[in-house]
């Protein structure tokens, strides 16, 4: 298949990422990883809309063609089940050999990729954990693999008492924050394996059904912008942090437009869904990301 033979949605997906088709190499995978994290937000605003419209549409995760058009029409991104599921479809369409992998008891969905450039090796990519995985992680051959932004550092490390398993170790200012997410690279998963888990994740009271969340990496300007309920936080590579409490829906909409540069995200509609679920984002305390 030549690049001209790709389905139309592949070209549109890449267009939203600011890319054009290339052969399935490590270099192109790195471009996709950086673009995915800096163009598409980690957000549950779209999740609220899909929840609201589920009875009519019949899906929690839309067909890839619908997802791609939503990137343009609504500035959608998604949380892990959306972002990594659709990204895997893109990667496979581009010729990459890849599969899903499940991390931890929360069943976080990530991606493992095999490349002819690195025979016998799996590389980890993750566009749905609000983590700075700006390039594929060669966790099986690079013991000091590091993904970092400012004070946040991540490494995929062997689990000492569980041969073959790895943990996603997260550090902040050099201190270990968590390492509970573990996975075995031989335990290949397909999207269909997560059907029951996705169903549970869309029930009232589930983690991302009880808060408003939007986060975006802006490496070109050295910023990480995060909204949790009505708390806007901006972190920069020079280790500065500013935080602001937004008092109204209008202020949140303005912040999404001005700070995230995502003016089409249907923030007001998502807040209305949360309100119907009994969640008042102006009273909820800030929660840590999953």
Decide if pLDDT at 126 tops 90: yes
With cut-offs at 50, 70 and 90, classify the pLDDT of residue 285. Answer: low
pLDDT digits (tens, 9 = 90+) for 140-175: 999 999 999 998 999 999 999 999 999 999 998 889
pLDDT reading at 290 higher than 80:
no
Kindly state the average pLDDT of the residues 123-129.
97
Residue 98 has pLDDT above 80, yes or no: yes
Question: Does residue 4 have a pLDDT over 70?
Answer: no
Whether the CB-CB separation of 229 and 246 falls below 8 Å is answered with no
Question: Cα separation of 166 and 189, whole Å?
Answer: 16
In angstroms, rounded to a whole number, what is the distance separating the alpha carbons of residues 123 and 30? Answer: 11
Q: How far apart are CA 244 and CA 283, in angstroms?
A: 15
Domains of the chain (ranges, CATH numbers): 3-193 (3.30.2140.20), 202-276 (3.30.2140.10)
Of residues 191 and 284, the one with the higher pLDDT is: 191
Residue from 132, 131, 130, 95 nearest 113 by CA:
95
| pLDDT above 90 (res 58) | yes
HSE toward the beta carbon, residue 5, CA cutoff 13 A: 6
Give Rg (Cα) of the chain.
18
> For residue 174, what pLDDT is reported?
87
Alpha-carbon torsion (214, 146, 101, 18), positive or negative: positive
Tens digits of per-residue pLDDT, 17-56? 999 999 999 999 999 999 999 999 999 999 999 999 999 9
| Average pLDDT of span 238-244 | 94
């Amino acid at each position: 298949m030549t690049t001209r033979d790709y389905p139309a949605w592949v070209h549109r997906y890449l267009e939203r990422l600011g890319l054009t088709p290339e052969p399935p190499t490590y270099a192109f995978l790195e471009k996709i990883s950086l673009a995915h994290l800096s163009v598409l937000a980690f957000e549950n605003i779209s999740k609220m809309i899909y929840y609201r419209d589920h009875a009519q549409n019949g899906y929690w995760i839309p067909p890839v063609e619908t997802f791609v058009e939503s990137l343009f029409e609504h500035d959608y991104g998604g949380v892990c089940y959306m972002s990594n599921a659709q990204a895997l479809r893109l990667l496979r369409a581009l010729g990459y050999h890849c599969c899903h992998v499940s991390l931890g008891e929360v069943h976080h969905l990530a991606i493992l990729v095999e490349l002819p450039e690195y025979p016998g090796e799996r590389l980890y990519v993750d566009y749905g954990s609000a983590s700075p995985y700006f390039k594929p992680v060669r966790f099986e051959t690079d013991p000091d693999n590091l993904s970092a932004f400012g004070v946040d550092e991540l490494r995929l490390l062997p689990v000492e008492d569980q041969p073959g398993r790895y943990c996603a170790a997260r550090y902040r200012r050099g201190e270990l924050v968590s390492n509970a997410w573990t996975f075995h690279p031989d335990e290949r998963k397909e999207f269909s394996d997560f059907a029951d888990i996705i169903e549970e994740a869309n029930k009232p009271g589930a983690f991302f059904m009880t808060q408003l969340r939007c986060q975006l990496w802006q490496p070109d300007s050295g910023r990480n912008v995060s909204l949790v309920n009505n708390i806007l936080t901006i972190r920069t590579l020079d280790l500065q942090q500013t935080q602001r409490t937004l008092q109204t829906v209008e202020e949140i909409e303005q912040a999404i437009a001005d700070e995230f540069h995502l003016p089409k995200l249907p923030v007001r509609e998502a807040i209305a869904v949360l309100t119907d679920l009994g969640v008042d984002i102006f009273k909820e305390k800030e929660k840590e990301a999953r």
